[in-house]
Structure 1
Amino acid sequence: MLESVEDQYIKVGQIARSHGVQGEVLIIPELYAPTLFDVLDLVRIEDARGDLLPARIESVRVQEKNNRLSFFVKFEHITDRTQADTLKQFAVFAERETVSQFVGEEDDSESLLSYSVIVGDNQIGTVAGIIDNPAHPILDVRTTEQDQLLIPCVEEYIVDVDEDKQQIQCKNLDQLTKL
């Protein structure tokens, strides 16, 4: 039996922008692993339709600045800035087996992706990403109005995480929004 895409691949980052004229792209990682791309030579890029297209890595440069990790990646099939610009905001996936062997057990925060964010009895949005922060993870939530809301994973804002219902009960979010 074939494995589902979710079982076979894991999101390792997001292409933020092109870099330089040779076709390099800046990838913001989902996982903190400075040598992650050292073990990857082939990744999958999720296109606008949601298809995972293979992309062979030609070279990688790692930059750690202000406790943030960034990867400047050159793919074999991307030869100039114009081609690299077409990849902006696309997600980058790798084989789950390779990544899990490299970084160990799957990060618990990764399992919160797509969870509903609830305040009282109202769903206000869905977890679109997890920002790795030295103090604590931060939930990147897309609200029902398609706005972005960043929620620190601390007791001040998180009441409960219900794994069965895939919901995160929150409080005090008015402190995080514009008044």
Structure 2
Amino acid sequence: MTEYIHIGRIVASHGVHGDVVVVHSLGSRNNFKDVKALFVEQVKNSYIPHFISSATARDAEQTQVKLEGTDSKESAHRLIKKNVWITEADFNRIADKNAPISLLGYKIYNRQDLLGTVEEVIEQPHQVLLKTNFKNKEVLVPLHAGTLEAVDRKTKEVRVILPDGLLEIYLEN
């Protein structure tokens, strides 16, 4: 079964020919080279392929994309605010290795204790949150200068030192 990685969302249409602007967290200027399709979540948990005709990177976070079958401003407008996904294989090929999103699948350790595997990366203005499942509870691990101890890309591990009591807050209920 194909695995999909959430990379961002469509935020605007551009021009009158159906181009859309995708804001992504791939970590570098990206024109989706050799990516055949973006999967747009038009309905919750549905990954509808939209084949790429062309794409132009605007900056490290935005790419202007022309999708097949989206040929008017109105058809592009239907896709605004929709989540965008790509296949895991495409993600592994085009994501910047230093981007926070590249931590997906890494094991998270608090000191020596395994918390779980990174299931989602949530980027906020002053920190990154790593979502994991610890003792059958969803836990958001803050990742910033005060908590990050090390990232080992070879062993795919993130080591943090969490403030006392943070995990207990998640485990109370």
Offset of residue 152 of structure 1 = 7.5
Aligned-partner Cα distance in 2 for 1:62–1:36: 5
Q: Provide the rounded CA distance (Å) in 2 between the counterparts of 1:104 and 1:63.
A: 16
Q: CA deviation at 1:24?
A: 0.8
Structure 2 equivalent of residue 101 of structure 1: 93
1:130 is the counterpart of 2:123: yes
Residue 160 in structure 1 maps to residue 151 in structure 2: no
Which of 57, 63, 71 pairs up with 2:52?
57
Match of 1:71? 63
Q: Is the 8 A contact 1:14 1:29 kept in 2?
A: yes
- Structure 2 distance, partners of 1:88, 1:140, is 26
* Corresponding position of 1:117: none
Question: Taking every aligned residue pair, what percent have the same amino acid on both sides?
Answer: 19
Cα gap change, 1:9 to 1:36, in 2 (>3 Å):
farther
Q: Does the CA-based 8 Å contact 1:25-1:74 persist in structure 2?
A: yes
- Give the direction of change, closer, same or farther, for the CA distance of 1:17–1:53 in structure 2 (3 Å limit): same
Aligned residues: 129
CA RMSD of aligned residues (A): 3.5
TM-score between the two structures when normalised by the length of structure 1:
0.58
The answer for the alignment partner of 1:85 in structure 2 is 77
Q: Which amino acid aligns with 2:32?
A: F
Residue 39 (structure 1) aligned with residue 41 (structure 2) = no
Query: Who is 1:148 aligned against?
Result: none
Task: Name structure 2 gaps, 5 residues minimum.
Answer: 107-119, 132-141, 148-159, 168-173
Contact 1:11–1:30 (8 Å) recurs in 2: no
CA distance in 1 between counterparts of 2:76 and 2:29 reads: 23
Consecutive unaligned residues of structure 1, counting only runs of 5 or more, are 113-126, 142-150, 162-167, 170-179
Compared CA separation, residues 140 and 19, structure 1 to 2 (3 A): farther
Change (3 A) 1:33 1:128: closer
Superposition deviation, residue 44 in structure 1: 0.9
Task: String of CA shifts for 1:52-91, please: whole Å, max 9, x gaps.
Answer: 1011001111112xxx431011101111111111111111
